[in-house]
Amino acid sequence: MRKQLLNYETLVKVTKAISHSKDPEEVVLMTVESIKTSLDAKGCTVFLINRNTNELEVAASYGLSKEYINKGPVSALRSIAESLQDGPVAIYDVSDDPRIQYPEAAKMEGIASILSVPILAGGNLIGALRVYTAEHFEFTLEDVNFVQAMANMTGMAIDMARHYKGFKDSIEILKTLRDPKTRKLKRRTPFEGVPVSVPKTKEKKSKTPPSAQ
């Protein structure tokens, strides 16, 4: 019951974020952080498809190392491609599954299982949302439905932002997320509603001594 309530609260929070913000950065970052927390997963990543290269490019990620995120180009045709064509795909053992493009990198990262679901916007496939676990995990139907619902809302937020900003393609949203001139410094937590800016003075109030950071 506690898990069901947590998932429901997460859906409400992200829906609220979408209704209050035209900034896709807020929505996708809240999505990956909320999913990781709700499912007690190792990490979560939102990918967008670059139609020119047929690669999945990272829009937002939480819980994974920079080394793993930058392991190399992720092919939409080789990396769990079925989840982009047929719907959600759960992989129990990433070290022994041909659908994994970088099995060694996943092993070094400490990833055991992956759930991948498609992200749709306006009926069109625009990317994938993936959940990573540190232990072998059998995702339940409830887990899959929850992650797919979050992916659907992410797609809706990206599509809304695309129209608002006058972009022709969703991948253009990714460029704005990576542009230092447009990025905002925010501290986000999954269950505090819509993300807000945090004054720098508050960030200094840490219980950990500077020498230990």
Strand order in the sheet with 74-75: 74-75, 55-62, 43-50, 124-133, 113-121, 89-91
Domain ranges of the chain: 2-207
Q: Which residue has the higher pLDDT, 212 or 4?
A: 4
Give the pLDDT band (50/70/90) at residue 7: low
Cβ distance 176 to 26 under 8 Å? no
- Can you give the pTM of this predicted structure? 0.77
CB-based contact 126:119 (threshold 8 Å): yes
- List C-alpha distances in Å: 3 to 6, 39, 49: 5, 8, 31
What CATH number was assigned to the domain covering residues 2-207?
Answer: 3.30.450.40
pLDDT digits (tens, 9 = 90+) for 142-196: 999 999 999 998 898 888 777 776 667 777 777 666 554 444 444 443 333 333 3
Of the candidates 151, 197, 168, 145, which has an alpha carbon nearest to the alpha carbon of residue 21? 197
